[in-house]
Structures are given as C-alpha cells and as structure tokens.
Structure 1
Amino acid sequence: MNFSKKKHKLIISFRLRFLSNNYCIFLVLALSFNQPIFSSTPVWDSNGITYANQSIVGFHPVAIFMSTNNTIYVANKENNTIVIWEEESVNPTKIIHGGFSKSQSLFVTSDGDIYIDDGEKNRRAQKWIAETNNFVTVMNVWSSCWGLFVDINDTLYCSMNEHHQVVKRSLNDPLMVPNRVAAGTGIRGSASNQLWRPKGIYVNVNLDLYVTDCWNDRVQLFHSGESNGITVAGYASLNPTITLRCPNGVILDAEKYLFIVDQDNSRIVGSGLNGFRCLVGCYGYGSQSNQLFLPYSFSFDRCGNMFVTDTLNHRIQKFLLMKDSFGTPVNIQYTHSSRLTDDSPTYYRDCKVPQCHYETLQIHVNTTGPKESSCVIGDQCNFYIKGIGLTLDDILRDELQPNTVLNNQSFSIKLSAGLTIIMFVAGLINSILSFITFQNKDSQQVGCGMYLLASSITSLLTITMFIIKFWFVVLTHINVSTSLSVLRGGCASIEPILKLFLYLDGWLNACVAVERAALILKGVKFDKKKSKSIARQTIFILPFCIFGTLIHELIFRRLFEYETAPDTANTNYNTAVLFFHLVGPFIVNLFSALFIIFGGAHQRSMARTNQSLKEHIQQQFREHKQLVISPIVLLILSIPRLIISLLPGCAKTSENLWLYLGAYLISFTPSMLIFLIFVFPSELYMKAFKQSFNHIRRRTPP
C-alpha cells in the first residue's frame, strides 16, 4: 500500500464558542435507540476517546447498541458475554453470561430485552428477558446473524451473511414458524433483488429495510413488501458521491439521512444535502486517536456523540459531536476581520456572551494517509493485500455453501473436487514412474538425473499437499463448527508447506534446464563428475533457501474472521517472494530453451560455414528436441498463473471462477508431467526406465 505525505500551509478562520451548559436535542419516538436531529453539516471531533479497551470488550469487538437512556451494550466475543454500561458510566455496571457464542450482532428493545446472535455454533438467535434474567430462543437460523433488528411491529430481522439473504419472523407468533424472506434470493449477485454478503441492517418506522450489501459495495433500500432494492449508497446509486468498500453498519437520523460504517475504508460516512462525506476515521486505517481499523458498527447517544466498535484495534471509540452541530437555532455573532502576522495569532472579542471569541491563526498541517488500496483478500486465512498470487481459499471460499454436503454443493465445487482427485492419481502415477526411472544408476550419470530424481519425490509431495489443501478448504468451509485449533493449524502450516514443495519442484526443473544449456555450451568438455557434485550441493541447499523466503508466513499468517488489512512491510515482502518464485523458474526455463536452440546453432554455424544459421537452428531442434520440449512445456504451463497473478486491481474470483481456478490448477500440472516431458522424449531415460521396470518385474513373484 502506498502512502503520501504532504506538508501544507493553511490559513484558517473560525469561531470558537465555549458554553457552560450542553444542550442535547433528540427525537423521542417509540424506539429503543437514539435518532438525533443534526444540523445540515454536523461535525464530530476527529480525535476519538477510547471508551473501552480489549481488557473489557475482548478481541475483535463488533456489536454495540446504545439505548435512549444512554445505556451501552457490547458483545464480548472472546468471553461470550454482554457488557453493559448504564448512563455511560465509566466502568461496566453489569455483565451478562449466557449460552451464546461468537455473537456478531445484538439489539435491545425499549423494555430492556436483549436480542443476540448465536447462529454460528447453535443456529439460533436468543433473547435475554430483562424481567427474568433468562435466555430463550426466538429464531432458528442457518448461520450467524451479522445484523439483528426489531421493528416497531415486533418483527425480528436477521442478516445471514453466508446465505446472501435477510430473513424475518414476527415475535408475536405463538409458535416458532419458519422464517420469511425480507430481502435477497439466497443466491449471491448484484441484481436489484440479490445480495452478496449482507451485514448490518436497519428498519425505519415505515418498515422499509436498509441493508449494507458488503461485497457489492453498496447500501440497498427495500421498501416494505418489495423484493427489488434501490441502491441508496455506493457506486450504482442515483447520486454516487462516495465510494464504499464493504459497508457494514447503517443508521438513519431523525431527518432520514444515512450514516454508514465503511469498513474496508476504516471510516464512518454520512449523507447530507450535498451527498456523502467522511465523518470520522478520515485519515486512513491505523491505531491513532483519529483513525479506525476495520470498524464494524456504531451507535449514537442522546447528545449525538458517536460510539464505534474499532474492531481490529480491539476497542470502543467515542467521537464527540462538536457544538452547533445539532439542528437548533444559533445566534449569529458579529464577525470581525483581522490581519494576521506570520508568527502571532490574534484574538478578537466579538460578542457579549462570556468566553466567546473570533479567532484567526496560521497553522501548519502535516497530512499522512493511505491511498486507495487495490483489494483486501481473505476473510479467514490470509494476511496480505492482493499483489501477486491467489490461494485456494481466495478462489473457493465464496463458492462453498456452509453446512451443505458435497453432493449438494454447486457444480463448480463438485467438478473441481473430481479434477483434484484425477490430478492426484495422475501425479501419483507420474511420481512412481519417474522414481523408477531416475533411481537407475544409468540415469544419474550427470546432474540432470539427480535433479529429476529429487523432482520425482518433490512432485509427489506437492500433489499430496495440494489435495490435502483442497479438502481442508472444502471441509472447513462446509463444516463451520470446525474447532479453532484445527483452523489455526491448517491456516499457518498447509499453505506454506505447499508453497515450499511447489517452488522446490519448479526450481529443480529450472536446474535441469540450466544444466542442459551448460551441456550444449561445454560440449565434449562437459565435466560429468563436477556436474553431479554441484547437483548434490544444490539439492541439499535449495530447500533451506526457499524455506527462508517463506518463514514469514509461519510467523505472520493468522486466522481472521473479517476481511483484514495487512502490515505494509509484510505485504511488500510477500509480493516480492511470490514474484521471485513464480517468475524466476519461468525466466530460467525460457532463456535455457532459447540458448539450447540458438546457442547450439550459433556454435555449429561457426564450425560449419557451408550451412546457413537458419538451417543449423532447424537441425539443432531436430537433434535436441527432447532437450527443448521440457523447458518449453514448463514455460507454457507457467504462463496462465503468471498472467492471472499480475492482473491489476481487486480480483473478485467468484465472477470468473474458472478463469482463476483453471490457472491455479494448471500451475500444479508440471508436478504431474515429469515422466512425460523428461523421460518419454529421451532415449536414454526411456532405456533406463525399461531396465528398472523389467528388474522390478523379475523380482516380483507371479
């Protein structure tokens, strides 16, 4: 991620009013939450106050609610508790324990009853009854409710992120009847009747439903009884004045202006007469007082102050509403002009009200903030912004349906499962046949045979780790109850180990290409003994060198439950490593193939002048085609993944699933083709294979 740093000289004139009394104006309806009346351009202090830290709200707080009596409710996901501050008290006044876990949302009604998500593990939404201090199940769901809301008719809404749908049921029904669809078809998409990973929701007094359609980067309005939504914020809206990246929370004020948590931009935005503008968190993501790091939800108190769950900073931030930001009459003061010197501020008394001044001053402003990032990849096992390289998690995670058996998954998943099994069987056969060939002493006369013997082993390890990776991704996404220890272990180990074997296989094949080019260069002077010695040393050292470039993944790879923004240094280093291991063997094979053809032809043309260079090139290709075929095939197989990896911008793999998945699968085919591209075209290696195979047959009893 790039950062810009500029120094500006700014002349600012502004009026400061210090009032001894704070006046809080708010609209009182039959609602349990605050809907302040703001001025046309309300302003909040850009520097937030940490109201609660990780020791109180736990790791990754997401759900917050503030009632009309200024009681704050926060779901502590780490301890599975609800933390309560009454009347904005400094310390929590109550902590509620229950049978819920990993709650993504909560909602509190006017009578103090708390509705809380318990969908990830127990497939339900629960209600804590204030009168009895007991929990009861009020809705059965298929997954976590990333947004909960109770409207004025006592209808409970649940935003099911993983099922691309919002469902509802009346709390007045005596029986637990099936949920009704409020929005979304259950199939992800960007059409007006579809949603893609919906999160926060809001229902107004007219029963109109607002949905933050996260992966469509928009907010949808579904009028009561309508299945087609209207985009009211985002790039597809009628008045697109702001760009959203995975909006999470949404609230309306008393004047029906929208306030939105713009999660991936780590800010809160709001609408007004002139469209949307940034309100807080406008200085890029971070942990400073004027920054947020992937916020999730927020709520207003009676005075219009904003409380935000600053999720990846593990804290609750309070942003104070600046005075005169409420929609109340304000006496306009007399304005006096002043002439300002370069180094001295001047203050003018301009009204009869004590402590009211007109101030003019000169300040220097240093602004530091991130530019728009391309795309944040990974909602579970990842840690880098897309630069180069896609993992199988990135490609398949949105295609897999949780809690759905493989037979009921999409055709793409079933087809990819079949392809991986075929690839594993083909790779297993290839590795066995290659090992039979290159363990023969005749095949190890030079370093090439030793490289290929090692490659036959690493290819088996690569294809084995590949199928383990595939089924780990599939099964853990299908079975959402998989323990965190299993997820963390697989996240931290499988991908780095797979990369180690894949990169090792690629570099061993590149070593073969280099030695064959050296054979053409040296000719009869080629030292076979030295070649074998270099091969042994290279095979021993190469795994440690590759592992050294991947060790950062074992250290920094973490399991996240949200789309996460990374550390920039890790991102840049990871991109460099991926580029090196992807492009390095590609370039080595390319230049080796060119040298084998043209270098050998040039040497012959110098000795045999009776033929043209073109004729020598043709003859060289005919005589050494087995030396040329392998690097060319490896080169061709590297191109799709290289092209896909270098595509700029945000890669939404689900829109072109087989483009990305095909390139990913093709990148493993070199590990399946050693026998075909190295042994089959070579008379020497085929002879060694037949000898070894016949020897095995003779030793095998009939």
Structure 2
Amino acid sequence: MYTNESFCFQNSTIAHECSSCSYGPLCQFTTAYYSITSLQTFLCSFESIPNILLLSILFLGSLCNLFSMGTFCQRSTREMGSGIYRLWISIVGQFGLMVVISHILLEKTHNKTIGCFSMEYLRKALHALYDSLTACIACERTMVIYEGISFNKIGSRRVAKLVIPMLFVYHFINILYDPFIRQLNDSSERSWCILKFNDYSTGIFESARNIVHFTIPYFLNLILPIFWIITLTKQKTRLHRTTSTCVNFRNVIHTYKHTVISCYILVLLNTPRFIFTFYLTCIKQQWQNTAYITAYFLSMVPFMSNLFIFVLLSPKYRPDFFDFIQRIVRYMHRKQYELT
C-alpha cells in the first residue's frame, strides 16, 4: 500500500486494501474526519519519547496550572464571569494535560484498554471543552466593550456559572458514543485502537462535530479582537475629537494589548492545526502524518500555558498571582517557625 517502512504505514494485513485516506496495519488511521482517530498516531510519528521528558512536561505544566488555579481561586479575581472562565480553563487544561501524558505512558507500557476506551474519550471531550471556554472569554470581553460602563458584572458571573456546567454536559454527552465504536485489534506485535462507525451518518456527525467544535472558537478568538480594536478606536475618536484616529488606535492597542495577545497566542498555536486539518484530510506519507500530529499537539500547548496566557500577561491578574505566591511563602515560613 505505502512504500514507507514505518510501522504506521505497513501494508494492511486484512484481506482487502484500505479505503482511500486510511492507513496503518489495520487501516486504523485516518484524518478524513478532520481529527486524529487515535493518539497512537503520535507514537507512530515519534516512536521513542523518553519518559523523563513526558514526566518533566507533566510536572512543569501541572505547576503552572496549579499557580493559575490558585490565582483565580481568590475572590478578587472572580468579580466577573471571565475570572470564573479562567479558573475552569486552568482546571480543564490540567486534566487534559494529565490525560494526554497518562495515555502516552499507558501506550508505552502496552496497557491499551484504558487508553483506547477511556483516554481517547476524555482527550476529545476536554480538548473541545477547553476551546469552548476560551471562546467564552472572548465573547464576554466583547460584551464588556459593547455595553461599556453599563456592563453587569454580577450578571456575567451568573451567566458563567450557568454556561460552564452546560458546556461540560454538552461536550461529554455529544461524544458518548465514542467508546462504543472502538475496538482493540492485534497486529504487528501490538494492539491497535480502531474507530469503526456503525453507519455513514455517524461518520458525517463525527466530521461535522470536529469542524464545528474547532473552527468556531478559532474564528471567535481570531475575529473578535479586531472588533474590539475598531470599536474602542471609534469610541475614543468620538470622545477625543482633537486627537487623530491613528493616535487613538495606538492608545487602544497599548491599553488592551494583553487581551489581544492572549487571544492571538491561542490562534497562533491552533493555526497549524487549522491548516493541516483541511489540507491533510488524506495522508499518504510519513512526513504528512508527522506534520499533522505536530500541529495537533501544538494546539494542546495551552493546556500547560494557562499561567502565562491568562495570568502573567494580564495587568489585572498579575498582582493577584504575586499576592498568591506571597501567601504561600508566608504560610511556609509560618509552618517552618512552628516546627522549630
């Protein structure tokens, strides 16, 4: 089937050849549904990943996420719904990071059952949920700019407390079918997690779900900051008629640069995935598989970068983070003094 000698691209061992855009010893891999069908494709592209590297990523990512969660657990950071969204983004990012690293370690220890039926389900649900929560922040910022001083902070907190559980239920229910259409098959001295759709309509639903859950948050984070800048520039121009539009534009960029940068970091990390999702729906060579998986995992970098994206870049939340660190230091000093 393929000339590439990687075990990802071995000829099919079953009686018939793989269908178009499917590959692997059991035709188990494809990106025709606009997403990876299994995390095993990652290990196909990067066959030898040191455990120390995985554990280091888990440790550093977890430390950053814990600092982020500690920051947003403070009452002063949750005056608006955006603070609540950021808290849950940190929580979801931490669970997503743990699921991905645990799944890779399970694959390396040849423990396939949990990875195939549980970790795959959690990975897909948590990734989509994370993207949706980042879109919620962008939408709330748009409402703040549109409504101005009439924006209801208490109302935004109530909306956030309603939207977040709804998103949890939605994202975990709409792929509830995933574990039931997976099976483990043995080939090439290993077990493969195969995704088989019971009917054509399920495949169409999977494709549509993947496109919608990825593209809507992507475009919201891409387009809404442009709307913010245009709207705020117009407002400043009306208020300061003696100041040129160019000067007002620069002032807006300087004032809101942290919010715009946060959105565009997410966009930048997701752009390779966006390109390859639609460009590489049919993978036939190893380099294409490697490029696609690299792009997919770049989109997961925010899972462990929440402290930088949502805290350190923000002049509003950065002092709360340092206050949280000072509290930890004072607590440790007090405990040390009590022990002595």
Change (3 A) 1:465 1:565: closer
Distance in structure 1 (CA, Å) of the matches to 2:330 and 2:183 = 52
Deviation at 1:387, TM superposition (A): 2.5
2:105 maps to 1:471: yes
Give runs of aligned pairs for residues 205-216 of structure 1, distance below 5 A. Answer: 215=11
Task: Give CA deviations for 1:565-598 in whole Å, capped at 9, x if unaligned.
Answer: 6432221111111111211210111122112212
Task: Give CA deviations for 1:24-80 in whole Å, capped at 9, x if unaligned.
Answer: xxxxxxxxxxxxxxxxxxxxxxxxxxxxxxxxxxxxxxxxxxxxxxxxxxxxxxxxx
Distance in structure 1 (CA, Å) of the matches to 2:279 and 2:265 = 23
- Out of 217, 223, 226, the position equivalent to 1:591 is 223
In structure 2, what is the equivalent of residue 556 of structure 1? 181
Change (3 A) 1:389 1:528: same
In structure 1, what is the equivalent of residue 304 of structure 2? 672
Task: Give CA deviations for 1:319-375 in whole Å, capped at 9, x if unaligned.
Answer: xxxxxxxxxxxxxxxxxxxxxxxxxxxxxxxxxxxxxxxxxxxxxxxxxxxxxx531
Task: Give CA deviations for 1:174-197 in whole Å, capped at 9, x if unaligned.
Answer: xxxxxxxxxxxxxx9838xxx677
Deviation at 1:666, TM superposition (A): 0.8
Deviation at 1:648, TM superposition (A): 4.1
In structure 1, what is the equivalent of residue 146 of structure 2? 521
SS in 2 for 1:550: coil
Distance in structure 1 (CA, Å) of the matches to 2:147 and 2:70 = 29
Deviation at 1:419, TM superposition (A): 4.7
Task: Give CA deviations for 1:499-543 in whole Å, capped at 9, x if unaligned.
Answer: 222222221111111111221112111111001110111112110
Deviation at 1:263, TM superposition (A): 2.9
- Out of 433, 453, 464, the position equivalent to 2:87 is 453
Deviation at 1:461, TM superposition (A): 0.4
In structure 1, what is the equivalent of residue 315 of structure 2? 683
- Out of 279, 287, 295, the position equivalent to 1:655 is 287
Change (3 A) 1:383 1:571: farther
Distance in structure 2 (CA, Å) of the matches to 1:385 and 1:196 = 18
Segments of structure 2 that go 5 or more residues without pairing to the other structure are: 188-193
Task: Number of aligned residue pairs: give it.
Answer: 325
With normalisation by structure 2, the TM-score equals 0.85
In structure 2, what is the equivalent of residue 386 of structure 1? 32
Distance in structure 2 (CA, Å) of the matches to 1:381 and 1:449 = 45
Distance in structure 1 (CA, Å) of the matches to 2:244 and 2:55 = 50
In structure 2, what is the equivalent of residue 440 of structure 1? 74
Distance in structure 2 (CA, Å) of the matches to 1:690 and 1:415 = 35
Which structure exhibits the higher relative contact order, with contacts defined as CA atoms closer than 8 Å and separated by 6 or more residues?
A: 2
Distance in structure 2 (CA, Å) of the matches to 1:381 and 1:452 = 40
Distance in structure 1 (CA, Å) of the matches to 2:324 and 2:226 = 33
Relative to its length, the structure with more helix (as a share) is 2
| Amino acid in the other structure paired with 1:607 | L
Change (3 A) 1:520 1:649: closer
SS in 1 for 2:3: coil
Give runs of aligned pairs for residues 124-203 of structure 1, distance below 5 A. Answer: 190=3
Distance in structure 2 (CA, Å) of the matches to 1:494 and 1:658 = 21
Contact 2:61 2:94 in 1 (8 A): yes
Change (3 A) 1:577 1:417: farther
CA RMSD of aligned residues (A): 2.8
With normalisation by structure 1, the TM-score equals 0.43
Deviation at 1:426, TM superposition (A): 2.5
Distance in structure 2 (CA, Å) of the matches to 1:667 and 1:439 = 26
Distance in structure 1 (CA, Å) of the matches to 2:107 and 2:96 = 16
In structure 2, what is the equivalent of residue 622 of structure 1? 254
| Amino acid in the other structure paired with 2:158 | S
Deviation at 1:609, TM superposition (A): 2.7
2:21 maps to 1:375: yes
Contact 1:377 1:564 in 2 (8 A): no
Change (3 A) 1:521 1:688: same
In structure 1, what is the equivalent of residue 201 of structure 2? 569
Change (3 A) 1:669 1:539: same
Contact 1:383 1:565 in 2 (8 A): no
Relative to its length, the structure with more strand (as a share) is 1
In structure 2, what is the equivalent of residue 310 of structure 1? none
Contact 1:381 1:560 in 2 (8 A): no
Segments of structure 1 that go 5 or more residues without pairing to the other structure are: 1-187, 198-212, 216-245, 249-260, 265-372, 400-411, 477-481
Give runs of aligned pairs for residues 81-480 of structure 1, distance below 5 A. Answer: 190=3, 215=11, 246=12, 262-264=16-18, 374-377=20-23, 386-390=32-36, 391-397=38-44, 412-415=46-49, 419-476=53-110
Aligned residues: percent identity? Answer: 24
Contact 1:462 1:501 in 2 (8 A): yes
SS in 2 for 1:683: coil
| Amino acid in the other structure paired with 1:263 | E
SS in 2 for 1:624: helix
Contact 2:221 2:264 in 1 (8 A): yes
Distance in structure 1 (CA, Å) of the matches to 2:133 and 2:172 = 15
Instruction: Give the number of the structure whose alpha-carbon radius of gyration is greater.
Output: 1
